[in-house]
Amino acid sequence: MDTFDLSKFRVKVLLSFYSKCQGLLTSIIWSQTIAQDLGIDENKMTSFEATVRFLWNEFLIQRKALGEGYSSTYLGFDEVESIIVHPHSSTAHFPSNIAK
């Protein structure tokens, strides 16, 4: 997977967390649910888990429960909304035109 495809996959996962949280920072979203919704199979599970770790390390999501329960952060919400509102501009974490 090249850098752009990796960024695209990361945005796809972040958008899924964003959508599931429905604007609430108190939501708990299980990463396994995101994987199932995105149709992640066993072959891509390692990439998915690395992506979740990336999003967590970059403070775009935060762990809310033991195990794999996460929620979007303010920074995560801002990042997604910037991608949606200004798709032709880069964000702090992603290149421009990533959501296409």
pLDDT number for residue 100? 62
Question: For residue 48, which of 10, 79, 75 has the smallest C-alpha distance?
Answer: 10
Q: Which two tokens stand for residue 59?
A: 């403070």
**What is the pTM for the complete model shown?**
0.90
Give me the architecture of the 3-85 domain, per CATH: Orthogonal Bundle (1.10)
List the chain pLDDT tens, one digit each, 100 residues: 788 899 999 999 999 999 999 888 889 999 999 999 999 998 889 999 999 999 999 999 999 988 889 999 999 999 999 999 998 999 989 988 887 6
Q: What is residue 95's three-state secondary structure?
A: coil
Q: Is residue 76 packed enough to be buried (19+ CB in 10 Å), middle (13-18) or exposed (0-12)? A: buried
From CA 94, how far away is CA 98, in angstroms rounded?
Answer: 7
Residue type, 39: G
pLDDT score of 77? 94
Report the alpha-carbon distance of residue 42 to residue 84 in Å, rounded.
30
